[in-house]
Structure 1
């Protein structure tokens, strides 16, 4: 079988959307809109690049390469192991999964708890139920298409649609004036805001989930799997653009009525409470929880599938059990502690992930040159890792001072120019190497 019905393609596209769309995706666009005000759509154009474009390309890159490890091996084998493990640990049990379990509780449950109920006990009860459901859904990855594509994703979209339609009947107001960096450089700020969704890194995990889901439908040809992955990515990407636009609009209009808030969760709470009253809190809680649940299932599934390939002694289902339990424990330790440890790691690997995806998309042009991959990842990694070390208080003064002179460094994009330099140097080195090989070969032929 080398074809997929439109219905199955749509379900896989909806499944991919639900894997991407977690709580972070729900709260960052409205906060951007509230802060950007009349510059919202300039910022959103750049936001779409890092929050939609690169994640979709990441899914395609992984499907095309046959897995993240194969893609990373184009740099070298050691890098492939270290980088892949870091990606799966940081976006999975180290941050992504525990955050998804604790964030909906912190944002929409904790503020409404009666004083007579212990917050610690309530968090334990919430995360126990949350991860029990995630565990059950993750046990059968081949059934995710039906469970998420037919049920969870449509329900999530319905909840968001209700909030937006409510704003049409009870308008919030006009766009406010842009503040902070959004007023001076909305494009760069929007680009960096797209990092916060962490979806580019997540895409490196989800690519293999989507490929397996496609193969479960009887598709065996690798080119067809890649082609369907692209189509599913376009469906998911289109939905992300639509939902992000609606949420950004809500945030931009809320700034006029409520003023500045500390985060997007507060922005959405203000919006839903204004439109629906106290029932709005219930609606928001359901939306947050469902968004986090779908993302958790995708992360548990993809991480378990990867770790199961590293050893024959622990099965996929055992890893699902281990990750679900460990994530529940970490979620109960507190979100602040998790972020303090994991965010610097994510900031170190995010630019590297972007460049791996870019190079994968340029394979035909670059002719899969190993030197291009090596130099590009080396120069990108030096800048991003030094930045991450600085964030945890380990500063290399001489190197930091030197890197601070790079273009766009103060905007958080200091790695861009070194990455481009790495591509150019890699291409030149490959050309020189090939010319020398041809000359040696020609001389050998002449000696004959």
Structure 2
């Protein structure tokens, strides 16, 4: 008899997926983008939603199409290359950037305002406690859907809904003219800002974790598993879009009370205080702590699951190692961590996007192995140009490339490589026969 999930379990699975995605970057970047976008709010927001909601959802669907795992996504690549890609992505979303950022944002926005003389010691102590709690939840993978999907996330979503309603009912200012790059390039600037959430990377890896959770519920049929994976992705995408739209509008109406705020977290804090007074910080702390904690749990779980499959160390041992590593890196500081992560995102995000795109067109490629190698190599080479430009390196010699000025020089070459490999290259079976 084929095991299926109840509607409540499907909703819990979707809520769990939403909670995994909704972390530090999802909270701190939209308010600042909204404030800078000003009266160009709509194009900037749609650009941001494209990379922060659309791409993760498409990636989750790609994971389902490929059979629910990394091996399916990368089956046409050399195993060593596929493993290297996975390790790099897990390091980025794990101990190097995304996971420590959850602890940092939780401290800066939820705890630090309550500490009179906050310093390095208080950050260190909080990091230890925060990642110890995340480790405790991540320890039992089989209960993730129950602990997060049925309890933590509904509480988080309820508080977010209260904030969203308050923002639209009682905006704290007028929408002012756009600033900076948002004046002339609102959509593309929002599009690139969406990279910072790291959710396309996360979707590649959370897909595997969600499949594991579904199977632990007794669902063994592959087609059914992939269907539930897509359901979870759609629910998560809807929740993320709801949060982003409200936070963008919050930012767009914040210029009067939060002009000059150094980051989106500060904008959010000032705005919530203006809306709710003294209780505002308590509401904000609840949102941030729940959002960051659920994401930290998901990241530690996903990374531990993958690294345990590569080594002799158990899932539990990897969870401890990664939680400790996250706590150490979290002491770097929020602004420093963000500045370090952006060049890496510019370099590797296009490769992830190209991999997802190839998954959907694979059946039309005469030789998928050649196509995957060629397209991913092209996307990597040209993404390095965008990363170098962001770092201040002189790459003006490449300004003839389409979309170079927008920080998206990789798009046209990658698309061209995909088109060429659709019509060039002997079928894989024929090539195998010739080399036999």
- State the TM-score bracket (shorter-chain normalisation): over 0.9
Judge conservation of contact 2:366–2:422 (CA < 8 Å) in 1.
no
Q: What 5-or-longer segments of structure 1 have no aligned partner?
A: 442-448
Distance 1:190 1:222, change over 3 A: same
Q: Is the 8 A contact 2:21 2:199 kept in 1?
A: yes
With over 3 angstroms needed to count, the CA separation of the structure-2 counterparts of 1:435 and 1:378, relative to structure 1, is closer
> In the TM superposition, what whole-angstrom CA distance separates every residue of 1:387-428 from its partner, at most 9, and x where no partner exists?
4356567x5x6xx34433211112110000110111022112
Post-superposition Cα deviations, 1:333-365, rounded to whole Å, max 9, x if no partner, equal: 334554454443232111100111111122333
In structure 2, distance between residues paired with 1:275 and 1:435 = 62
Q: Distance in 2 between matches of 1:163 and 1:392?
A: 36
TM-score (norm 2): 0.92
1:22-421 matched pairs, under 5 angstroms: 22-65=23-66, 66-115=68-117, 119-167=119-167, 170-312=170-312, 314-366=313-365, 369-389=368-388, 400-421=395-416
Change (3 A) 1:59 1:437: closer
- Give the conservation status (yes or no) of the 8 Å contact 1:156–1:290: yes
Q: CA deviation at 1:437?
A: 4.7
1:389 and 1:185 map into 2 onto residues whose CA distance is 20
Cα distance, 1:169 vs. partner?
Answer: 5.5
Could you list the per-position Cα deviations for residues 10-45 of structure 1 after superposition, in whole angstroms to 9, with x for gaps in the alignment? Answer: 111100000000021012222222111222122212
Q: Is 1:423 matched with 2:418? A: yes
Count how many residue pairs are aligned between Structure 1 and Structure 2: 431
Q: CA deviation digits over 1:422-447, x for unaligned, max 9?
A: 102211223xx249959x99xxxxxx
Change (3 A) 1:384 1:39: same
Rounded Cα–Cα distance in structure 2 between residues aligned with 1:320 and 1:309:
13
Q: 1:381 to 1:154 in 2, by over 3 A?
A: same
Aligned counterparts of 2:47 and 2:367: Cα–Cα separation in 1 = 28
Deviations 1:260-319 (A, max 9, x none): 53321121112111111122122212211211111110100000000000112x100010
2:172 aligns to what SS in structure 1?
A: coil
What is the CA–CA distance in structure 1 between the aligned matches of 2:258 and 2:101, rounded to whole Å?
A: 27
What is the aligned partner in structure 2 of residue 11 from structure 1?
12
Equivalents in 2 of 1:345, 1:435: separation in Å?
A: 33
Q: Distance in 1 between matches of 2:384 and 2:217?
A: 41
CA contact (8 A) 1:113 1:119 kept: no
Asked whether the 8 Å contact 1:69–1:84 carries over to 2, the reply is no
**SS in structure 1 at match of 2:183:** helix
Structure 2: which 5+ residue stretches go unaligned? none
Q: Closer, same or farther in 2 for the Cα pair 1:263/1:385, shift >3 Å?
A: same
- Whole-angstrom CA distance in 2 between matches of 1:417 and 1:151: 45
Distance 2:168 2:386 in 1: 43
Find the aligned partners of 1:196 and 1:406 in 2 and give their Cα distance.
24
Distance apart, 1:112 and its partner CA: 4.5
CA distance 1:403–1:212, shift in 2 (3 Å) = same
Report what 1:446 is aligned to. none
Contact 1:75 1:377 in 2 (8 A): no
Gap change, CA 1:257 and 1:17, over 3 Å in 2 = same
Identify the residue that residue 445 of structure 1 maps to in structure 2: none
Could you tell me whether the CA contact under 8 Å between 1:59 and 1:233 is conserved in 2? yes
Paired with 1:264 and 1:402, the residues of 2 have a C-alpha distance of 34
> How far apart in 2 are the matches of 1:122 and 1:257?
29
Cα RMSD after superposing both structures: 2.3
**CA offset digits 1:63-112 (Å, max 9, x no partner):** 43342244234232232121111000111011111111112212343355
Which deviates further from its counterpart, 408-417 or 260-269?
260-269
Instruction: Name which one, 1 or 2, has greater alpha-carbon Rg.
Output: 1
After superposition, the Cα gap between the structure-2 partners of 1:208 and 1:29, relative to the gap in structure 1 and judged at 3 Å, is same
Alpha carbons 1:69, 1:81 under 8 Å: kept: no
